[in-house]
Every structure is written in structure tokens, then in C-alpha cells.
Amino acid sequence: MQANETALARPILRPVLRLLRWLFSLALTLFGLIVITFVLTRLSAIDPALQKVGDHASQSSYLDARGELGLDRPLAVQFLRYLGDVLQGNLGTATSTGQPVQADIVRTFTATLELATIATVLGAVLGLALGILAALKPRGLFDNIARLLSLIGYSTPIFWLGLIFLLVFYARLHWAPGPGRLDVVYQYTMKPVTGFALVDAWLSGSPGILRSALAHLALPACVLALNAMAGISRLTRAAILEQLSKEYVLTARAKGAGTLRVVLVHILPNVAGTLITVVALAYASLLEGAVLTETVFAWPGIGRYLTVAMFAGDTAAILGSTLAIGTAFVVLNSVTDLLVTRVDPVALAERG
């Protein structure tokens, strides 16, 4: 009886144990990231106390600032204080903006998240479709288009591509608005609720604001989507071409399955893990901050914020941005690994 109960409990415990292992691995990785950022603060040539009081402050003011920041305490105590502040969301005050770093990160990261998400979805849909069509007819029309777009996406500097887009579609054809997230007339009339321009524009109930948000998002999203589509289409094509010569594909075709059914039903499930990884890597690279694209289009994202902070020597903003970007990267990679193990036939077979 006990043996039967144990056998019945195993299928229930396995997903729970896998989830606990995943959460522990995620927490351990995030803890390591916090340790690295703490070490960077101590190795930095910028003195936070001196930065706070200024170069011409008295010695007593400088010492008071060190005591206020906890820099006169043992290193272990400083780390525990830093860990507590990070867990509470207290990342200090950015000297470049005069605002709390966590507020700046929420504002800028939502802008990057919106841009990166739209660009990734657009690049993934077009890249997967183009990669499939190119693999089905090698050296055909779609294959040549895929090769050309991959060449442009990989070889063209992204800032130059952004400038060309602005020159053609904004300055010459007047099809798109200028840089920024909204027209100037709407910047102070739209109430920020979520931090996402499209969502806030929709919530405002004004068709004009929504059209402005969509129009400003179009050019930078297309530039980043082209960059993401280049890698996604190329790797999708390679993955499908590899599978077309496998025995299970030949068997399916011998049974009368059409090309579309072979690709959708038989091939795509077997390469789903690879495709998820490719799309996730493209998404992660954009979430890290598309610095050049955000600079060219004056997009107020985390990449542009980090660049300004680096030029200003703003330690709090630099470390807060690094921690936010690193956390997003770690979480996305962990979620991707979890999804891959769910859809990858080899991983499923190994797990039993």
C-alpha cells in the first residue's frame, strides 16, 4: 500500500521539485549579480562621498558623508546594508537627474521594454515566416530575400540604419514623426499611468495621442526588428533545412503529408527549443538597452539613461541600471531554459 502511494506521489512531486530547483538557481544567480555590483562599487574610482558633497567640501563634511553612506563600516556590514537596500528597492539618488534611481529605472525601463517587445514580436514573426519559406525553396525568391535582409541586418551599423530611416521617412517623405515617444503637444497632456506609451495613450481615450504613440514607435521598432529578423530568419532556415533530410520527414511525406503539414506538425515541434532560444536571445539583447537606437531616436530608454549616467560619472544610476539590466537578462534566460525543457523532445525524454 505504501509503495503504491509513493508511486502515485512521484509524478506530483517531480514538477514541484523542478520548480524549486529553478527558483533556487534563479535566486542564486540574482544574488551573484548583487555581489558583483557591490564589488564594482568598491572598485570604482569614483568616491560616492566626495561625489555627494563636492570637491570643495570640508574634511568634516566629507567624513560625515562617508558615515551617512556607511563607507566607514566593515566591508561585510556594508554589503548587508547594500543587500537590504536592493531588496527594498532603494538604489540611491541619481546625481544626473536628482531623482531616486528606482524611479528613473522604472520610467526608462518601461520605455525600453515597450520598444524591445514590439521589435521582437515583429522581427520574430517576419523572421520565422521568412526562414520557413527560404528553407522550403533553397536559392528561390524568399531564400534570396532572407539572405539579403540577413546581410543588411548583420553588416549595417544600427545607428547608420536609424539615421537613414529618419532621413528618408521623416525628413524627405514626411511619413513618420521625429524622434521621441510622442508629439510635443501631447507630452504634457497624456497622464502617465503604466509607463507604456501605447497603453497610456489607449487609456487616455484620445485617438490623436494613440496615433502619435504608434507613429513614433514605428521607425525605431522597424530598425530593431530588422536587426532581430536577420538572426532569426537565418537560424530558422538552417534548423529546418537540417530536419528536412531526417527519416521522420521522409516517412511523413511517404504517407502523403503535404509540405505545410510536414513543417507545422512534424518539423516545428522538433526545432521549437532552438527557435525559442533564438527569439529569447534577440529579445534579451534589446532589453539590455539598444543604446544607439535610443540615442538616434531620442527614445528615453534604459540604454540612453545608462549612457548619460556614464558620461556624468553617476555611480548610483550606473549601478542601478546595471542591476536592472542584469536582472532582466537573468530572469529571461531562466524562463527560456524552463520553456525549452518543456518543448524539447530530447529534454522531455531525459526527464522521463
Enclosing H/E stretch for 54 = none
What average pLDDT does this structure show over 198-219?
Answer: 90
Mean pLDDT estimate for the chain: 82
All cell numbers assigned to 250: 521522409
56-112 pLDDT tens trace = 777 777 777 777 777 778 888 888 888 888 888 888 888 888 888 898 998 899 999
Quick check: 154 and 259 in contact, CB under 8 A? no
- How would you classify residue 174: left for phi > 0, otherwise alpha for psi between -120 and 50, otherwise beta? left
Higher pLDDT, 54 or 241: 241
Q: Distance between CA atoms of 290 and 306, rounded to whole angstroms?
A: 11
Domain 101-351, CATH class in plain words: mainly alpha
Interval 213-219 mean pLDDT:
92
User: What Rg do the C-alpha atoms of the chain give, in angstroms?
Assistant: 25
146, pLDDT greater than 70: yes
The top-scoring range by mean pLDDT among 123-132, 315-324, 330-339 is 123-132
Map out the domains of the chain as residue ranges: 1-44, 48-88, 101-351
Name, of 10-24, 286-300, 338-352, the range with top average pLDDT: 286-300
Least confident window among 31-45, 173-187, 272-286, 292-306: 31-45
Single out the residue of 226, 101, 109, 65 nearest to residue 157, CA to CA.
Answer: 226
What was the pLDDT predicted at 117? 92
